[in-house]
Amino acid sequence: MRVLISLKFRVCRTFQPARSAAASTFAGKSKGNALVAWLISLAFALTAQQGHACTLNVTGVNFGNYDVFSNAALDSTGNIDVNCPSGVGYSMTLTAGGGTHTQRVMGSGARRLNYNLYTAANRAVVWGDATSSTARVNGTGIGVSVNHGVYGRIPALQNVHVGSYSDIIIVELTF
């Protein structure tokens, strides 16, 4: 089963006068009003193998506001619920999208913004296709939905421009 995830982003930025931004930085105060709004909408196309009927229900990752001056990465979480008949084993992989599994990339024209998707809240293992130090997520159906968290992270201090950023990730569910 292949599922298409379409990631769409809208970037908004407000500016501070240069003197105000520099003063805030040196004073150790909040580093500004430059915020990037992120919304990931997920679209799925499902197909099923004969004899089994597994379904997916997805809650998208919403990063909220991204402050380009923040020293902290921006984390957020989404979910993929898999419902397979009891005893049916499955595995899920994610494609690299516009980048690599090591560093996924969203694009807005020629501009890029790095991010990645992980298998657990500690964000130690990249969710990929079991190559290049990535992992697939495995499970066994129990006849009701089994929740799998999708843990997203946008690294800190990326100087992104205003625009709409997007990437496409394909989820492959094998059962």
**pLDDT digit string, tens, across residues 49-81:** 445 689 888 777 777 777 889 999 999 898 899
SS3 for 140? strand
Domain membership of residue 33 as a residue range: 2-174
Is pLDDT of 137 > 50? yes
Say if CB 95 and CB 129 are below 8 A apart.
yes
What is the structure's pLDDT at 74?
A: 92
Domain count, the chain: 1
The CATH number of whichever domain residue 146 belongs to comes to: 2.60.40.1090
Residue 5 contacts residue 169 (beta carbons within 8 Å): yes
52: tokens are: 């089994």
Among the listed residues 63, 83, 49, the one whose alpha carbon sits nearest the alpha carbon of residue 156: 63
State pTM to two decimals: 0.71
